[in-house]
Structure 1
């Protein structure tokens, strides 16, 4: 007992100082959530309860083609696969950190043959077998904090994996709506080209009959050529968007195809879904990237405590038991047995400033993690505000475009009527056609952007919402 009389007071002192090795966990990033979002937000929803799921928000659009693309992306997208692998690594690190807290047991069997100096040159054989046990008493809480930090890292990895999935899901939905808009845009331009070609054929016949000037024919030929060029440009653009969508779902662009469909035949074409933004304070718990940044900050705080624990002594317990004999069969006999128990208290006296530098390094990591957490909170609120602003602005723009489109259609009809009665030249009809085509395409783009803005709002909210 006397051999441990100096060990007990030292261990007790280390336990008393254990609390000094920790760091208080920060509760926020110094930002108070506002009472409401600045941009107008609706409290209504047109979405079914089934769609209010963080892992399947796209169900609100009731589009089987989109459902299939999202499912394929979650299975084959490389970003999602990388995030899942990082979660697996983080969970393995937890098990590794926990294992260090447990006793370490090893077994060994050794055989050696040697002769002794100054004695007969005849060699002898010695066989030894034994078990070794090592255990570090976690006086300062260093090992526990390491496990807690690894657990926080794993939770952050899981949240980052959810965020990676949400980013991919949002990208798939936005790209899909861009592709559908291009399909409709191409149909509008193709329809206009067909009208131009029909008018050109009639005008060429009238020119041959001497009823119109060559200028009318040349003007229509110009419109046909430029519209054909626009159609080819749309085909090229659609191929690029389709390829981008294929990469998102993990397919080779050369084998990936999405059948073109008319906009008005889509199940979601009737109205843009309404998504309530909810309370700003809820955003900090909904967004996986924000919760991940918070866990990373908390893990960094734990590691500051680990670095400070380096100033405290370490208590290691070791034990061994086994046997040694010149005959292998006698290794486990009573006469060959031996055992030992050792307790070691180690404390660094001079390390050239390594421990101090380690603390400063951990504190620097904590400062970085805190700033990144604060940045993630700011970006989260910024994403929601931008999405709400887009939705409000696009809604107003869509109403204006609808009014302009109706007026352009009426102007084109009047121009055709006046041209048939000889009141105006063909130039006025062409101007009305160009104006109607431009406004139709603008109206389509605004409608497509409304759906994309809705997807961005859902992503900004963390993929889920409440009424």
Structure 2
């Protein structure tokens, strides 16, 4: 190499180093901006819901279950949020994601280490070193070597690759936390859903047992009329079939009750059967609260944990583009070592044993046959996928709310009609009883009216439970519970 080339290369390296240092703290790749989503200002069915629930108070979304005014429900949800094993696993995943974020952030900082070694060696005379050294007078085959030192190294994040990796890890940690909150919302809703199904099954079992007693009285009446020649075998068979049909409805209701009780126990992190006694008495003390849905779909961006998690994963994928792009540029590593090396411990910490070192390393992937290009393309593809998932999560969230609102609205309308039906059927039963006491109608007609009333009450119990479950689904769709 000619002497004229060396100064030129040295100047070039100096210029490159100065340029690199001037870029310290910069980060290549696109800066993240949350994408704007075009959403309607309000839900389609929100006005109907507000009109039907105008006389009721709406609870806060954070603790919506308290709006049902049922202490048993509140106690079960509180226990599930404290004991649910899926939530404990989600919390552990959050801890892992936070640790990964801390590690990624620490990669940008210098690393220091302290080391000490003591070596005792009996040198072989047949080794190359032994053969040479043994020729000198005073050579001793027994040797000791002491080494102590402190070192430090730092990768200068000239183009922000490490910064982008830290940003991605932070966003992933935030997404994990949002997943945990989403699971919390789901657990509270699952407990409430199972609870209302238990209460509905208990009420329907009570109605079915009352229906069984009515049908049994009807059968006895038919049998008495048959003995007196006032009824036919066909009427008796119809009464027997009616009683058997009512009795056959009890096992499915019992299965529903027990299955939902077991579901509640597992949601509360307990063995099935642990808390069944707390719900042994069939009571109906809850009231379905109003739901405030006036803020519209824009509120879901702030409330829905799954939407929040999707947005954070989009931010992470955006940061990975910068981390991949940084591989186009050189990476500079600086290291230093301050150490003492001596053949004797007495001279170890002296100026003569001092052995400092300093090093600078430069790595630049100039020719990799498209590997960096592929990494950047993969990162961009990941961002495109994350963006689509984010937009889809918002669409799904809006769909969930719309479906929940229309279901709740229609069930409340149906419940109102059933109340009117039950009231009319009750009046019909009472009128038939008065007519029976006056001798105008037979007991058969009275019992038939009673059977119709119990059937209407059974349908009302189903719709009332479905109404409560629809309210739970609406709270869940709105992102309530955290």
Shift of the alpha carbon at 1:234? 1.2
Shift of the alpha carbon at 1:286? 1.3
Under a length normalisation based on structure 1, what TM-score does the superposition of the two structures give?
Answer: 0.89
Structure 1: distance between partners of 2:403 and 2:18: 57
RMSD after superposition? 2.8
Other-structure match for 1:236 = 255
Structure 2: distance between partners of 1:276 and 1:135: 54
Shift of the alpha carbon at 1:409? 3.4
Name which of 103, 112, 122 aligns with 1:105.
112
Other-structure match for 1:46 = 56
Structure 2: distance between partners of 1:452 and 1:11: 66
Name which of 200, 208, 212 aligns with 1:193.
212
Other-structure match for 1:345 = 362
Name which of 119, 128, 132 aligns with 1:119.
132
Q: Which moved more, 1:181-190 or 1:248-257?
A: 248-257
Q: How many residues align?
A: 456
Structure 2: distance between partners of 1:66 and 1:245: 11
Structure 2: distance between partners of 1:427 and 1:208: 15
Gap change, CA 1:126 and 1:40, over 3 Å in 2:
closer
Other-structure match for 2:42 = 36
Q: Quick check: 2:199–2:283 contact (8 Å CA) kept in 1?
A: yes
Gap change, CA 1:254 and 1:399, over 3 Å in 2:
closer
Structure 1: distance between partners of 2:337 and 2:481: 57
Structure 2: distance between partners of 1:415 and 1:213: 23
Other-structure match for 1:87 = 94
Structure 1: distance between partners of 2:426 and 2:65: 34
SS in 2 for 1:21: coil
Other-structure match for 1:221 = 240
Structure 2: distance between partners of 1:323 and 1:19: 38
Structure 2: distance between partners of 1:78 and 1:263: 29
Structure 2: distance between partners of 1:285 and 1:155: 14
Shift of the alpha carbon at 1:194? 1.6
Gap change, CA 1:352 and 1:111, over 3 Å in 2:
farther
Other-structure match for 1:136 = 155
Structure 2: distance between partners of 1:308 and 1:263: 64
Q: Quick check: 2:214–2:451 contact (8 Å CA) kept in 1?
A: no
Other-structure match for 1:165 = 184
Q: Quick check: 1:40–1:392 contact (8 Å CA) kept in 2?
A: no
Rg larger in structure? 2
Q: Quick check: 1:180–1:260 contact (8 Å CA) kept in 2?
A: no
1:62-77 maps to which residues of 2 (within 5 A)?
62-77=69-84
Q: Quick check: 1:108–1:129 contact (8 Å CA) kept in 2?
A: yes
Structure 2: distance between partners of 1:442 and 1:215: 28
Other-structure match for 2:137 = none
Shift of the alpha carbon at 1:165? 0.1
Shift of the alpha carbon at 1:404? 2.5
Other-structure match for 1:458 = 475
SS in 2 for 1:338: coil
Gap change, CA 1:4 and 1:91, over 3 Å in 2:
farther
Shift of the alpha carbon at 1:53? 4.8
Other-structure match for 1:448 = 465
Shift of the alpha carbon at 1:133? 1.0
Gap change, CA 1:22 and 1:120, over 3 Å in 2:
closer
Q: Quick check: 1:11–1:139 contact (8 Å CA) kept in 2?
A: no
Structure 1: distance between partners of 2:55 and 2:480: 15
Shift of the alpha carbon at 1:422? 8.1
Structure 2: distance between partners of 1:134 and 1:85: 32
Shift of the alpha carbon at 1:40? 3.1
Q: Quick check: 2:200–2:465 contact (8 Å CA) kept in 1?
A: yes
Structure 1: distance between partners of 2:109 and 2:10: 23
2:290 corresponds to 1:274: yes
2:16 corresponds to 1:10: yes
Structure 1: distance between partners of 2:133 and 2:481: 85
Structure 1: distance between partners of 2:25 and 2:371: 20
Q: Quick check: 1:128–1:323 contact (8 Å CA) kept in 2?
A: yes
Gap change, CA 1:17 and 1:311, over 3 Å in 2:
farther
Structure 2: distance between partners of 1:214 and 1:278: 62
Gap change, CA 1:464 and 1:85, over 3 Å in 2:
closer
Shift of the alpha carbon at 1:208? 4.1
Other-structure match for 2:4 = none
Unaligned runs of 5+ in 2: 1-6, 135-139
Under a length normalisation based on structure 2, what TM-score does the superposition of the two structures give?
Answer: 0.86
SS in 2 for 1:47: coil
Deviations 1:175-233 (A, max 9, x none): 11111111111111111112222333344445445554444443333222221221222
Structure 2: distance between partners of 1:247 and 1:183: 20
Structure 2: distance between partners of 1:90 and 1:8: 41
Shift of the alpha carbon at 1:431? 5.7
Structure 2: distance between partners of 1:410 and 1:333: 109
Q: Quick check: 1:275–1:458 contact (8 Å CA) kept in 2?
A: yes
Unaligned runs of 5+ in 1: none
1:431-442 maps to which residues of 2 (within 5 A)?
432-442=449-459
1:313-392 maps to which residues of 2 (within 5 A)?
313-392=330-409
